[in-house]
Structure 1
Amino acid sequence: MNAFPKKFPTPLALAIALLNAGLATTAYAQNNSSERQAGMLEEVIVTATKRETNLMETPIAITVFGEETLVREGIANVKDMAKLVPNMDIAIDSSQTAPVITMRGVRSTNITELGDPAVGLHLDGIYSPRPQGAMALMFDVERVEAQRGPQGTLFGRNSTVGNVNIISKRPNMEEFDASLGLELGRWNHQQLRGMVNIPVSETFALRGSFMTEQRDSYLKGYYDPNQWDTRYLPDEVRNAPLYEGPAEERTLIQRRRWWEGGGDGIQQIVKADASDFYNNADQYAFRVAGLWEPGDSLSWMLAYERFQDSSAGGTDTLDCSKAKKRVFMENDEPAPLQGCEYAYGPGADEYTVLVSVPGMLDLSIENIRSNLRWDLSDDLAFVYNAGWAKQTRTQMSDQDRGITDWDMSIFFRDAAFKSQSHELQLQSTGDGRLQWITGLFFFKENNDMQGGWMNSMASASYWNQPDRTLSSEAIFAQGTYELTDDLTLTLGFRHTRDTKEDVGGHNMDCNDANPNQLDPTLNDGKCFPAWDRAAYNNLPRDYFWNPDIYVVSSNNDIKGKWDYNNYRLGLDYDISDDTMVFAYVANGTKAGGIGDVVVQYEQDPLTTEYPVDDNGDRIVKQRHENTYDPEEVVTWELGVKSDLFNNSLRLSATVFYSDYSDMQIAVARPLFVTYAFERDPQTGELTGEIEQNPFTVFQTDNVGEAEIKGVEIEFDWAVSENGRLSGYVTWLKTKIVSDFIQQWNYATVDLYEIDHGDSVNPENTLLTTNLKGNELPASPEFSINLNYSYNLMLRDGSSILPWIGVNWRDESYYSIFNVDKHLDRFASDTPEAFYDTRAAVTNVNLGVKYTAPDEQWSLEAFVNNATNEIDFYWGGSGDGYIKGPVSMPRFYGVRANYNF
Structure 2
Amino acid sequence: MNKLLRSPLALAIALANTSLATQAWAQSEQPQTEKPKAVLEEIVVTATKRETNLMDTPIAITVMTEEVLTRQGLSNVKDIDKLVPNMDITIDSSQSAPVISMRGVRSTNITELGDPAVGLHLDGIYSPRPQGAMALMFDVSRVEAQRGPQGTLFGRNSTVGNVNIITQRPQVDEFEASLGIELGNFNHRQMRGMVNIPVSDTFALRGSFMVEERDSYLNGYYDPNQWDIRYLPEDVQNAPLYTGSEEDKNLVQRARWWEGGADGVQEVVKADESDFYNNSDQYAFRLAAQWEPTADFSWHLAYEHFQDDSAGSTDTIDCDKAALRVRTDDEGNYLDAQGNPSATPVPGSNGCSRIYGPGADSYTVNVSVPGMQDLTIQNVRSNLQWDFTDSMAFVYNAGWAKQTRTQMSDQDRGITDWDMSIFFRDATFVSHSHELQLQSTDNGPLQWVTGLFFFEENNDMQGGWMNSMASADYWNQSDRTLASKAAFAQGTYSITDKLHLTLGYRYTEDTKEDIGGHNMACNDSNPNLLEPELNDGRCFPSWDRTAYNNLPTDYFWNKDIYTVSTDNDIKGEWDYNNYRLGLDYDLSDNTMIFAYVANGTKSGGIGDVVVQYEQDPQTTEYPLDENGDRIVKQRHENTYDPEEVITYEAGIKSDLFDNSLRLSVSAFFSDYKDMQVATAKPLFVTYSWERDPETGEQTDEISADPFTVFQTDNIGKAEIKGLEIEFDWAITNNDRLNGYVSYLDTEIVSDFVQQWTYATVDLFEISYDESVNPENTQLTTNLKGNELPSSPRYSLNLNYSHTFDFDSGATLLPWVNVSWKDKAYFSIFNTDKHEDLYATDTPDAFSDTREAVTNVNLGIKYTAPGDNWSLEAFCNNATDETEFYWGGSGDGVIKGPVSMPRFYGVRANYHF
Task: Using structure 1 for the length normalisation, give the TM-score.
Answer: 0.96
- Distance in 1, Cα, partners of 2:560 & 2:336: 48
C-alpha separation between the residues in 2 aligned to 1:30 and 1:761? Answer: 68
CA distance in 1, matches of 2:262, 2:832: 42
Retained in 1: the 8 A contact 2:605–2:639? yes
What is the alpha-carbon distance in structure 2 between the residues aligned to residue 676 and residue 884 of structure 1? 33
Letter in 2 for 1:547: K
Q: 1:725 aligns with which of 716, 737, 748?
A: 737
Q: Distance in 1 between matches of 2:5 and 2:260?
A: 64
Which amino acid is 2:125 matched to? Answer: I
Residue in structure 2 matched with residue 59 of structure 1 by the alignment: 58
| Residue number in structure 2 paired with 1:210 | 209
Secondary structure at the aligned position of 1:417 is classed as strand
Q: CA deviation at 1:883?
A: 0.3
One-letter amino acid of the structure 1 residue matched with residue 235 of structure 2: E
**Structure 2 Cα separation of the partners of residues 15 and 738 of structure 1:** 27
- Render the CA deviation track for 1:718-749: whole Å, top value 9, x for unaligned: 00111000000001000000000111011000
Q: How far off its partner does 1:11 sit?
A: 7.7
Give the corresponding residue for 2:315: 316
What do residues 725-776 of structure 1 show as CA deviations (whole Å, max 9, x unaligned)? 0000001000000000111011000000011101110000001110000000
Q: What is the distance in 2 between the residues matched to 1:521 and 1:446?
A: 39
The residue aligned with 2:506 is 494
Partner of 2:756: 744
Structure 1 residue 624 corresponds to structure 2 residue 636:
yes
CA contact (8 A) 2:253 2:355 kept: no
5 Å-filtered alignment, 1:766-781, equals 766-781=778-793
Q: Are the structure 2 counterparts of residues 120 and 262 from structure 1 closer, same or farther at C-alpha, using a change threshold of 3 Å?
A: farther
Counterpart in the other structure of 1:708: 720
Q: Report the counterpart of residue 20 of structure 1 in structure 2.
A: 14
- How far is the alpha carbon of 1:220 from its aligned partner? 0.2
Distance between the aligned counterparts of 1:677 and 1:463, measured in 2? 26
Tell me the equivalent position of 2:887: 875
Q: How does 1:773-812 map to 2 (within 5 A)?
A: 773-812=785-824
Aligned to 1:48: 47
Matched, 1:307 2:316: no
336-345 or 385-394, which deviates more: 336-345
Alpha-carbon distance between aligned partners in 2 of 1:856 and 1:130, rounded to the nearest angstrom = 38
Alpha-carbon contact 1:329-1:335 (below 8 Å) kept: no
Match of 2:287 in 1: 288
The match for 2:88 is: 89
Deviation at residue 336 of structure 1 after TM alignment:
1.5
Match of residue 345 from structure 2:
none
Give the Cα–Cα distance (whole angstroms) in 1 for the partners of residues 629 and 443 of structure 2: 70
**Partner of residue 163, structure 1:** 162
| Alignment check: 8 A CA contact 2:662 2:729 kept | yes
Q: Deviations over 1:792-821 (max 9, x none)?
A: 110100000000000010000000000000
Q: Does 1:839 align with 2:851?
A: yes
* Aligned residue number for residue 228 of structure 1: 227
> Which whole-Å CA distance do the structure 1 matches of 2:634 and 2:701 have between them?
19
Residue 342 of structure 2 corresponds to none
The 3 A distance-change label for structure 1 pair 192 and 677 is closer
Q: CA shift at 1:291, angstroms?
A: 0.3
8 A Cα contact 1:252 1:402, kept in partner: no
What code does the residue aligned with 1:542 have?
D
Match of 1:477 in 2: 489
- The alignment partner of 1:701 has SS state of strand
Q: Name the aligned partner's letter for residue 537 of structure 2.
A: G
Please say if 1:29 is aligned against 2:23: yes
Aligned-partner SS, 2:571 = strand
SS of the residue 2:247 aligns to: helix
- Kept in 2, the 8 Å contact 1:258–1:266? The answer is no
How far is the alpha carbon of 1:261 from its aligned partner?
4.0
Q: Secondary structure at the match of 1:240?
A: coil
Match for residue 466 of structure 1 among 450, 456, 478: 478
**Cα distance 1:368–1:481, how it changes in 2: closer, same or farther (>3 A)?**
same
Distance 1:253 1:551 in 2: 34
Task: Show the counterpart of 2:662.
Answer: 650
Q: Report the CA distance between 1:31 and its aligned residue.
A: 3.7
CA distance in 2, matches of 1:93, 1:26: 47
Task: Spell out, residue by residue over 1:370-423, the C-alpha distance to the aligned partner (whole angstroms, 9 max, x if none).
Answer: 000000111000000000000000000000000111100000000000000000
1:336 matched to 2:368: no
The amino acid across from 2:750 in the alignment is: S
Q: Which amino acid aligns with 1:655?
A: A
C-alpha distance after superposition, 1:778-798 (max 9, x if no partner) = 000000000000111101000
Shift, 1:493, TM fit: 0.2
Q: Do residues 266 (structure 1) and 278 (structure 2) align?
A: no
Q: Residues 254 and 17 (structure 1 numbering): CA distance in 2 closer, same or farther, change over 3 Å?
A: closer
Deviation of 1:354 after TM superposition, in Å, equals 0.3
In 1, Cα distance between the equivalents of 2:386 and 2:183? 44
Q: Report the TM-score when normalising by structure 2.
A: 0.95
The one-letter code sitting in structure 2 at the alignment partner of 1:57 is D
Change (3 A) 1:584 1:429: same
2:296 matched residue in structure 1: 297
**Residues 689/192 of structure 1: CA separation in 2 closer, same or farther (3 Å cut):** closer
Alignment check: 8 A CA contact 1:103 1:148 kept: yes
- State the alpha-carbon separation in 1 of the partners of residues 139 and 547 from structure 2: 52
CA distance in 1, matches of 2:48, 2:508: 19
Q: In the alignment, is the contact (CA less than 8 A) between 2:253 and 2:414 conserved in 1?
A: no
**Alignment partner for residue 432 of structure 2, among 420, 424, 427?**
420
Tell me if the contact between 1:673 and 1:691 (Cα under 8 Å) persists in the aligned partners. Answer: no
1:380 aligned onto 2:374: no
Looking at structure 1, the residues matched to 356 and 909 of structure 2 have their Cα atoms a distance apart, in angstroms, of 43
**Residue type matched to 2:213 in 1?**
Q
In structure 2, how many angstroms separate the alpha carbons of the residues matched to 1:335 and 1:574?
67
Tell me the amino acid that sits aligned with residue 599 of structure 1.
V
Residue in 2 aligned with 1:567? 579
Q: CA deviation at 1:16?
A: 1.7
Which residue number in structure 2 is paired with residue 538 of structure 1? 550
C-alpha separation in 2, matches of 1:182 and 1:162:
34
C-alpha distance in 1, partners of 2:307/2:22? Answer: 53
What is the aligned length?
883
Structure 2 CA distance for aligned equivalents of residues 698 and 295 of structure 1: 55
> How far did 1:172 drift?
0.2
In structure 2, distance between residues paired with 1:221 and 1:677: 37
1:618 positional shift: 2.5
Q: 1:601: Cα distance to partner?
A: 1.7
Cα distance, 1:168 vs structure 2: 0.1
Q: What is the match of residue 192 of structure 1? A: 191
Kindly state the Cα deviation for residue 251 of structure 1 after the two structures are TM-superposed.
2.4
1:143 corresponds in structure 2 to 142
Residue identity opposite 1:334 in structure 2: D
Following superposition, the deviation at residue 607 of structure 1 comes to 4.9
Alpha-carbon contact 1:254-1:266 (below 8 Å) kept = no
**Change in 2 beyond 3 A, CA 1:557/1:259:** closer
1:858 paired to 2:860: no
- 1:345 maps to what in 2? 357
Pairwise CA distance, 1:870: 0.6
Structure 2 counterpart of 1:579: 591
Q: Which runs of 5 or more residues in structure 1 are unaligned?
A: 1-8, 679-687
Matched-pair contact (CA < 8 Å) for 1:635–1:659: yes
Once the two structures are TM-superposed, the CA of residue 20 in structure 1 deviates from its matched residue by 1.1
Cα RMSD (Å)? 1.7
Counterpart-to-counterpart distance in 2, 1:676 and 1:101: 40
Q: Which residue of 1 aligns with 2:697?
A: none
Q: CA deviation at 1:518?
A: 2.5
Matched, 1:823 2:835: yes
Look up the equivalent residue of 1:266 and give its one-letter code.
V
How do 1:173-184 residues align onto structure 2 when only pairs under 5 Å count? 173-184=172-183
Give CA-to-partner distance per residue, 1:655-700, whole Å, 9 cap, x none.
000000000000000011235799xxxxxxxxx9976112100000
Q: Distance in 1 between matches of 2:688 and 2:899?
A: 47
Paired amino acid for 1:449:
M
Paired residues of 1:226 and 1:253 also in contact (CA < 8 A): no
Matched letter for residue 155 of structure 1 = F
8 Å contact 1:396–1:409 — kept in the other structure? yes
Cα distance, 1:605 vs structure 2: 4.3
Structure 2: tracts of 5 or more residues without a match: 340-347, 691-699
Provide the residue aligned with 2:200 in structure 1: 201
